[in-house]
Structure 1
């Protein structure tokens, strides 16, 4: 992973560009009068929320975004008494 050193004043003026570089995999070390004071680095993908990871996969072409609307499901079939529970238990055996 490439590392870039940049002064604090220049970093303030170019923060958007630096963040784009970090997104591409670079680490940025920020200096104040030549002394290292901070590091900009990307967040590991496993620390992203599920929604952010899905959006990342869509952006990278791994997944396609939903293009059609989901149809609504019909209401459940009403069953009397404990029929549903009995069917569920039979299915699990």
Structure 2
């Protein structure tokens, strides 16, 4: 899906932030590390969320049929009480 992400430590990132943001702006992916352990990732924003979803599907991270999601049924229902009442009851 592209080149291997570049890794950078926190100290280096702070010292040369503009340089690394330029790299991300140009489409690069940057893995931020803390003492050699991955901490986070800086990736360019996509303008179209649909394109991001297609990219995730191509990478095998998600499966998507391309159709609009169907509404889901509620997992649980409380008969006769609203959520606020249930929370108050639980706190007692």
TM-score tier (shorter)? 0.3 to 0.5
Answer with 1 or 2: which has the greater Rg: 1
TM-score in terms of structure 1 length: 0.47
> Normalised by the size of structure 2, how large is the TM-score?
0.48
